[in-house]
Structures are given as C-alpha cells and as structure tokens.
Amino acid sequence: MPQLAGFGVSHLIAVAYTRHVEPETAASVRAVLEALWERAEATDLTTLAVWHVGPTLYRALPATAAEPVTDRSGLVDDLYSGRVLAELVAEGRPVATGTREDLFACLTPAADVHRASIGALAERYRLETVSGSSHLEAGFLTWLEEVERARTTPDAVHELTPDAAALLLACLPVDEFRDAVMVDSLPGGDPVARALLTEDPRSAALLSELLETVFTGAQTPPDPAVVGGARRVLEALVRQAPAGLAAHPLAVLAFLAWWQDETLMAGEAAQRAAEDQGASTLAPLVTKMLGAGFRPGWTGASLPVR
C-alpha cells in the first residue's frame, strides 16, 4: 500500500477472491480485512468498497472498521450485470482494461460491407450444403486448420479469409457440425466429432457420454492453449458474421467459456446469441446453466443455495 500512495492513489476498492464463499472462509477473510483496514489507515488511503467473491457467490464486506457489518450477498452473475464489478474482477483475475466494453472488444463486428460480402458467400454455401454433406467435411477441415493456426500464433489477432469464414458460418447452423466443433476442444472429443460428421449411429450415445463427463465427472481443467485457439476462431467468426449468422459461433463460444469457468464471457456470448436473428438452441442451455449456478465438473463445485 505505501507503493500505491507513492503513485498518487487515494482511493481503494478491494476484491478478495476465494474458491468458496462459505462460513469456513470467514475467519481467514476477516483477518485479511482487518489487515486491509490497518494498512489503509496508516497510508491515508480511503477504502470505498470491499467484495468477497467466489466462483458463484459473493458477499459485500465493510470498507472500514467503523462500518457496520451488513448481510449483502447473492449470485456473482447478479454482480456481473453491473458495470463496476465487471470491470474490476472476472472470475478472480484482475482486469487490466478500463470498461466493460473493453472486455468484449474481441466480439466487435467488422465493417458492414465486409460482413455483407461474407453473408452472400455463406448463403451460397448454405444452399449447396442442403443437398449433401461434402461441405460439412470441408468445413470441419477448415475449422481444424484455422484452430491450429490460431494456437500457433496466440498473440496475433486472428482473422479468416472471407471464403473460410463463409463456409464455417454456413455449416455451424447444422446441429451435427455445431456439436462437432463444440466437442473438438474437449478431452476425447475428436472421435465424437468424427462420428457426428460421418452419421455414425453411435454418435448420439458418444456425445451424451462425453457431455456427462464435462458436466459432472471431469477432473482435469481445460487446456487454455487448446481451448484458446478454438475460442479465437469463434471470436473472429463473430466479428465477421452478418446479423442472423453470429448466433451460432456465439453459442459455441458461450459453451467453451462456461467450460473454462469464465462466467462473464459465457453470459455475454449467450446473451448476444439470443439477441441475434439466428435461432440457436445451444445458447439458451448455457444461459440456464449460468442462471442455476451450474459449473463444469472439473471445478468440483456444487450448486449454490438459492
């Protein structure tokens, strides 16, 4: 805190993040709180607010020792709907950007003329896809190539050629293709994706078994390098998609963000998918999971008490 004062900082908002917001964490959080009050007073810093935030629940704590303790708590999702906390904390990690809009800059649409040209190409592919599965196979190969390219250049802004973007946007409304893209980044997802695209009669059972593991049984957290590549391709598709075609990449993005336990991005992507003209059956599912506080199996978290 002396360093903060040295940089001219006069006011402080503190966010204490723990894996659980439960009675067993109260003693340790209280100790941190008392230390914060003491150091803030000693350095003439004014504490405006203190939040104790967990993955699904939050509590508001007194900002000073003289402030009475109030029982203000609830779901983190409720806090994320407000601008201030969304700028301060995203799943316990400090956010360097200054506004909520900055957090979602990766979803900002490209110029209308660019998206319109891709829409025309996508419509051509859509009409051809209806008559056969060859475009679905080509689309999945394009997906794999783009994801690999995004993974090998993680610091570069990922953009697709108009033809590649149009092909993927034409294929994503097809349930089997969407599901194949969705599970491609999950452990054990590759054979399931292949089964979906080849109309293997076992595909429905394989998909159900894999998702059951994701929802309740997985013990290994997602590999950020693997999932990151897929998410960057989906974000590029969202930027390049015309109205009515953005819902499908947004819905898959929402699912992958949920799987990474990133509630803020998952909720935003699902909401934007619902507002797009294209109908997505996946986005409402993600919204329901977020609303119920349902988290991926690898977190080992239970549902919050409502």
* pLDDT of 2: 59
Q: Are 263 and 91 in contact (CB under 8 A)?
A: yes
Rounded CA separation 286/254 (Å): 7
CA dist., res. 14 & res. 163, Å (int):
47
pLDDT at 22: 63
Per-residue pLDDT at 219: 67
What pLDDT is stored for residue 118 in this prediction? 93
pLDDT of residue 3: 61
The two tokens of residue 237 are 């598709």
Calpha distance 256→261 (Å, rounded): 9
pTM reported for the whole predicted model: 0.67
DSSP per-residue string spanning 141-164: HHHHHHHHHHHH-TTSPP---HHH
Residue 254: closest CA among 218, 291, 219, 220: 291
Q: Read off the pLDDT of residues 220-233 as tens digits, 9 standing for 90 and up.
A: 788 888 899 999 99
Question: What pLDDT is stored for residue 304 in this prediction?
Answer: 42
Return the pLDDT at 98. Answer: 37
Nearest by Cα to 21 from 52, 49, 51: 52
Going from the first residue of the chain to its last (306 residues), give the mean pLDDT of each consecutive group of 10, the final group possibly shorter: 63 75 67 81 76 73 74 59 46 41 75 88 81 76 94 84 94 91 88 86 88 76 88 94 92 93 86 85 89 80 42
- For residue 75, what pLDDT is reported? 64
**For position 171, what pLDDT does the model report?**
92
